[in-house]
Each structure stands twice: as C-alpha cells, then as structure tokens.
Amino acid sequence: MAAPRPRRSASVRDPSDGRKRLDGAGSWDALEWTKIVPVTRSISHVGLEFLLEAERVVEEGHGVVLVNTDEAGTLFVTNFRLLFLSDGTRNIVSLGTIPLATIERFNKMVVKVQSAPRQTDKSSSRRLLLIIGKDMRIIVFGFRPQTKQRRVIFDALSRCTKPARIWDLYAFTCGPSKFSNPNPKVRLLNEYFRLLGKGFHCASMRMIEDGSFTLSNDLLRISDTNSNYTTCQSYPFALIVPKNISDEEVIQASTFRARCRIPVVSWCHPAGTGAVLARSSQPLVGLMMNMRSNADEKLVAALCTQLVNGKSSRRKLYIADARPRKNALANGAMGGGSESSSNYFQSEIVFFGIDNIHAMRESFARLRDYLDTHGAASSDGMSSFLRHGGWTWGGRNLSSMSASVSTLGDSGWLIHVQSVLAGSAWIAARVALESASVLVHCSDGWDRTSQLVSLANLMLDPYYRTFTGFQALVEKDWLAFGHPFSDRVGMPSISGTSFELTRQSSTGSFSSSPMRQSSGSLTPQASNSSHAQTNYSPIFLQWVDCVSQLLRMYPFAFEFSSTFLVDFLDCVLSCRFGNFLCNSEKERLQCGVYEACGCLWAYLADVRSSEGSSHAHYNLFYDPLKHNGRVLPPAAALAPTLWPQFHLRWACPSESQAGELEAESRHMAIKFSELQKAKEAAEKKAKEYSMAMETLNAELRNEKQVSSSAMNLAKRASKESAAIKRAIQSLGCRVNFTSSVNCSFDFESNPTETPQKYMHSPPRRNSDGTMGPEDKSDLSVSITVVSEDVVSSSPLGRVCETLCPLRNGGCRWPDAACAQLGSQFVGLKANFDAFDRLSIYDGYFQSE
C-alpha cells in the first residue's frame, strides 16, 4: 500500500467558508490503470480567478481523474457548473467543465477489474462518476477508493442540478450585471410593425401601457385581446389577426383550439403579395371528427383574403399538420384531431409525419452514444482505432466497417432533421411560389410548429438571416409564442416543480463499449425513473441544427457563422441568462426575469464587439446582395450531415474544427483587417504631416511678406533721409545720421558759444505702418548750425547776410524771424512740426 497522499495546505475556496474539504486519504493502487503520477503540490494559489461573477464553490474533490483524457486534477461543484481544474497545467479543462443545467443525467458506477491469474481471489474496483450532457458530451470521472469524495460530489450534484425553485438558479443569483435585459415586448411590437409595413413607428413601454400599439394595414391588424393573457396563457400579449375579425370572434375561436392557441399570423411579406404564414394548435374535433366552430372557420378563412384591384378575393389555403396522420387520428380519441378540408373552404390538408418529442429525445441519445463509441477519444479513455482490436473499424474484416455507419443511421437523428428541413422548405415554397397562405400546427402548437414556422421564416425573409433578425425570429416564434423551454431543457418553472434528473444505470448507454464489457462488470449504484417519462426533449437544439444545415447549403446568405450558433446554443443550455427560462412570456413576467437576470443577446453582442467584424461569430462569406430574397432549397439538397462544430467537438475535437478553407479565410481576413488599420493610421499620419507642411509654408510666406515690407520701408526711409539731409544742408546745417537711439540737433551760432544740441526720439513705426509712441527709433540725426563765418563763406550765406534785416546784430537762426518765413532764396518752405516728428512718411518741406 502506498503512503497516503499529503494533505494540501489550502483550498480554492475561502477558508472561512466552513464547508468540508475533501482530501485523498487513500492510495493510487486501485487506479493503476490511469498511469497518473501522484501530484503533491498545491494548486490553491490560483484562488478564485476562474470563478464567474457570483459563482461560489459548493464542494470539491482532489486527486480526481478525467477518464476521457487520462488527466488528473481537482473537481469543483459550484452553484453554476461542474469545474475540472488540471493539476498539470492549473487550467480549466473544457471537456470536464460543464454547466449544471447542461447535465442531462448522472450516476455512480463501480467497475470490477479482474486480477492477475495468480491472484484470482482478489479483485479491485474503479469508482466512477458518469456525467451525460445535453450537448453531446459523456464524461467519466474516476475517484480514489475509501475517500468518500465521489459520494460528496454526487450529493452536491443532486442538490444543485435540480433546484426546488426557479429563483435558486444561477441566473437569478448573478443578476443582470452589465448585460441588462430590456423588455422584449417592445422588440416584439417593432417586429410586428415591420411585418405590417409600419416600420416607421417605434414601439415603447408607454405605447404598451396605454394600448396604442393596435396598428393595422389593409388586411391585418394587431390585437390586444390577449394583453392580460386571458385568451391564451401561452401566447404573447399582442397578436396579428385578420383585420375583419373582431376581438369577440377571436375569443370565441380560442375555445375550439387546444390550449386556446388560435390561428394567428406569424409572418407576412412586408411589401409582397399578402400571403401569410400562420400557426395554431390542433382543433378539438373529437373522436368522430364532427365538431365544428363557425368562429374558427371564419378566422381561418380570413387568412386567405387577398385584395385584387381594390376587391377582396380568396387565395389557396394549405393546412400543414406536422404530425403523422395516424398520430393525428389518435389524438382524436382525446378530443383533438385535425381539420377536414370540407369544413375549410378552398383548403388542402397536408401531413408532414414528424415524430413527437419522445422520439426526438431517444434519437438524440442514440446519436450521442454512437459518437462516444466511435469517437477519437471516448468516455472510456480509448480511441475507436485501438479499442478491442479496432473492431469499430472492422478489425481484420474491413467489410464490417459499414456497421458503424448503419449505427449512425439507426439513431434516426439525421432523418428527423431532414424531415423538419423538407417540411419547412415545402411551406416556404407554397408561400413564395404560389402566393398561398399556410396554417401550421401540431398537437399543442409549440414544438414542431415552432420548428417549421421559424425555419420557413428564415428561408423567406433575409432579415432573419442577420444577427438582429435572428434575435427577432427566436424571440417571436419561440419565446413569445410559448415554447416550454423549462420543460424541454429540464429546469424548474414558475409553479415550483422541477425536472427530475434521472440518475439511472449506464448499462443501456454504455453497452456498446467493448472495454466495459471486457475489463470488468458494471455495478450501478443509483437508479431512478425512466427518462422517457419526462418532458425533456432537444427540440430547440434540433432546430438550431437545421439552421446550421441551411448555413452549410447557403454560406453567403447568413451574417452569422456556425461558431455563433454553437455559442448561442451553449448559452441556452447553460441557463446562465434569463431569456430562455420559464415556459411562456407570462411566466417570465411573473418571475421578473427581465429585471433580475442578464440578457443572452447583450452578452453575445459584447463578445462580438471585442474584435469587430473579424470575430468568429461573423460569417466571412456573407454577401447580402447575393441572397437578398428567399432561399428555397430543392429536395435533393436537403440531405443533412453531422454538424461538426457541435456534434463532434467532444468525441472528435480535431475533426470538429472549421474547415481549412474557412480557417485560412478567417486568418486572411484578420490580416487584412490589421493591414487596413495600419493603412488608416498611415493615412492619418500623412494627413497630419500635410497639414503641418501647409502651416509651415503659410508661416514662411508670411515671413517673406514681412521681410519684403521691411526692405521696402528701409529703402523708403533711406530715400527720405537723403532728402531731409539735402534740405537741411540747404539751410546751412550739418546733419549726421547715426544708429543711436536719439536724434541729436547741434546748433552753433558762433565759435565762442557752446553748441546747442537738441535730442529727439522719433516714434517707431509698427509692422503695419502705425506709429508706436513708446518705441524708440534706431535712427539718430545730428544737425549742427554752422557759425557765421562758415555761413558767410558760403554763397548762400552771403546772400542771406545781404538780405537779412538782422545782419548787423548777427544771425540768430533758427530763432530769428526769417526762419518762420518763406525763404525765397532757398526756394523751399520748412515744416518744423513735421521735422520735429521726424516721420519718414511725412513731407518735411513743401515747394513754394
């Protein structure tokens, strides 16, 4: 016996939580087949980083082995999921991590392992926990014996996977967070407005409260007769009915249909022929099929009304019954049945032969077992190539390879998918090609009817093949018209009753595994009521599978990709958000789902916004102009295949990835997006450089203009200075121009007197030509009045002395009176005020 495994020092949970922590106290001897080396280091340092908002650990077990991948780790049961953390990488293992709501059933198993020939009296056992998921997953966990870890994990799953009340679900515990859920009533009305050609109207809560949403066109109107859910509890608050049918007649007709689900319009072309696609439940004709309702017949007949040149006439009506004919007749014994064409004028009854929810559930289970048995890595930890000598591939007899293929066919899943596709294509063709109206129903009108009607809508209207339109389609034909998601997914409803998860023996599911047959005997330790007694059925999953088949046939017609459909379906099955809780619109309002829970659509939109159009949710090949109308696949194209991204992702992970072409195209699209961003950044930088160059050029031009103006001013100042100098010298004065700050005027009347100097600081001109009184000029002018001798010696001086009346007393210029008069001998008149200002722009002297 090996030594006990050392105890771990801490737990992933908060130590103050107080819940019991499980440690492996036994040995690895009983699990020698796993070939796992005991891991002694602690992984508790990861803390709570892997938990979602409001997610808390309920129980945990250490030393657990994920048999599918032969990997050891720690298994946690939280209030949202079963989480497996690898001891080797300390990362979450996707295969071993599954939301609690996605678990279909689970049970404990003990596998007896035969001992060696010399030890026939001894035998060992493997303690296993089998988890079967609604997403094609089968998981097996191995626990060490004598530790009671498996029991504690099993009990925690029993408590958490089937809460007593709907408010105990994780969606209510987490709250809306940042993914708030606006009231879908507004979105439903906006879709109705679009169908009636009133898209310019915008719905609001105020419109719903005051009842002003009852718009109409020439043939149809929106009725508020079910605003309080009194007419039909599983229908939405607003219904589209023929315009000539009153609310009283609608109420009367509801008594003739199962669960009061009257014929109402699901789709009409916004600007087309007026043909409608309607839905309802089965009529209550009784065993003898002789019960009738005038109100119901009038309502159905009004669906066929058409306007031709302003006059009403009748169009062809098809009544599509999704059930096999024998099932419809059998329902007559319970009061149901199908219509008679003799009671509905100009109508034709067609039966599609689609099986009920129980057949779909069993078919899905067989497909899941087939994939687990023939997958690359199955729940028994072996590849189908190696298991039991490779018998699943024929062993030594390759002709027996057809056995595996026939097993896939025996599951019947692809046949059911083809039936739904063919029925939807037939309905769409009648509306599009014959302009006929079609009324679709099954028994209750919320399972097969929802599949057929919504898939036909998808074929007829390209709007529904976009992200926004797909949301509107699901909210209208699945949520608003009352598909019972709580019953079909297996979650508690408003009444408080919850879906009984069966914990039955895996003998039926695993009988095909040769390893389990040869390696030992299976001993089931828990068994409950049969799964067939429940209302769980993968109806919505089957519809999404049909959408993926259309996406495969028409890759250019859809804005979203197959990856989006997988993520969308995972969110629905996990019940992480409140959109798909409860069984009807009325129940969701009563539970306060829209205020208390997050919104799936907001979450997916937030995921897409992280990478923009390069995100994996976007279809790279989408071309809205190529398929801007209806798509009507011919019968030969309706041969479905397995949906690799969903069906094969657990059993054949490498084969489930997108094709090489799509992967390469997405890689090229990402590179193109990066180059586009780099180009935009370069163009932005070049624009900035261009603007900077223009600014510099403008500044350079301005500097040139300033420099040119300065040169012109300097030349003009030089010319005027020369003129001033000549004029003053003509008066007998000496003028000196210097670069000092002030102007100097020197007057010398005689040699004995001290020369008189007048300092003048002329104002400086600004660049715009104005005077700056505070500025100082860099031009200095020195004017000196020469003595009498000098004046007398010059010709002008002698003339002045001869003519001057003050010649006997000596020349007193410029104080003499002659200086204020015109000097006829000089021929110029002095402007002394201008001279004092020394302005180079003014005229200092004027001609006589």
> CA neighbours within 13 Å on the CB side: how many for 166?
26
β 743-747/780-785 pair status: parallel
Asked if 549 and 416 count as a contact pair (C-beta separation under 8 A), the reply is no
1: three-class secondary structure by DSSP: coil
Would you say 228 is a known binding-site residue? no
Q: What length is written for the chain?
A: 848
Distances (CA, A) of 767 to 708, 711, 743, 770, 843: 11, 12, 22, 7, 20
Contacts for 183 with CB less than 8 Å, ≥ 6 apart? 205, 594
> CA neighbours within 13 Å on the CB side: how many for 51?
19
Q: Which residues of 469-493 are buried (b: 16+ CB within 10 A; e: fewer)?
A: bbbbbbbbbbbbbbbbbbbbbbbbb
41: three-class secondary structure by DSSP: coil
Would you say 650 is a known binding-site residue? no
Contacts for 584 with CB less than 8 Å, ≥ 6 apart? 233, 234, 482, 484
Q: Shortest CA distance to 435 belongs to which of 242, 306, 278?
A: 306
Asked if 598 and 177 count as a contact pair (C-beta separation under 8 A), the reply is yes
Q: Shortest CA distance to 742 belongs to which of 756, 762, 728?
A: 762
- From the list 260, 442, 575, 804, the catalytic residue is 442
Tell me the C-alpha distance between 743 and 761, whole Å: 6
Q: How far apart are the first and last CA of the chain?
A: 138
* Phi, psi angles (nearest 5°) of residue 287: -65, -40
Tell me the C-alpha distance between 594 and 68, whole Å: 39
Would you say 444 is a known binding-site residue? yes
Annotated catalytic residue 442: yes
Tell me the C-alpha distance between 107 and 124, whole Å: 20
Question: Facing residues of 784 across strands?
Answer: 734, 746
Tell me the C-alpha distance between 296 and 260, whole Å: 11
Contacts for 575 with CB less than 8 Å, ≥ 6 apart? 99, 101, 169, 170, 171, 489, 491, 581
Asked if 183 and 209 count as a contact pair (C-beta separation under 8 A), the reply is no
Would you say 430 is a known binding-site residue? no
Tell me the C-alpha distance between 372 and 384, whole Å: 9
Would you say 356 is a known binding-site residue? yes
* Two tokens, residue 472: 């509107």
The one-character DSSP state at 78 is: E
Would you say 446 is a known binding-site residue? yes
Would you say 90 is a known binding-site residue? no
Tell me the C-alpha distance between 133 and 413, whole Å: 17
Asked if 462 and 624 count as a contact pair (C-beta separation under 8 A), the reply is yes
Q: Shortest CA distance to 297 belongs to which of 377, 242, 229, 215?
A: 242
Distances (CA, A) of 46 to 12, 64, 89, 90: 7, 18, 11, 8
What residue numbers does the annotated binding site for substrate cover?
A: 356-357, 442-448
By annotation, the residues acting in catalysis are 442
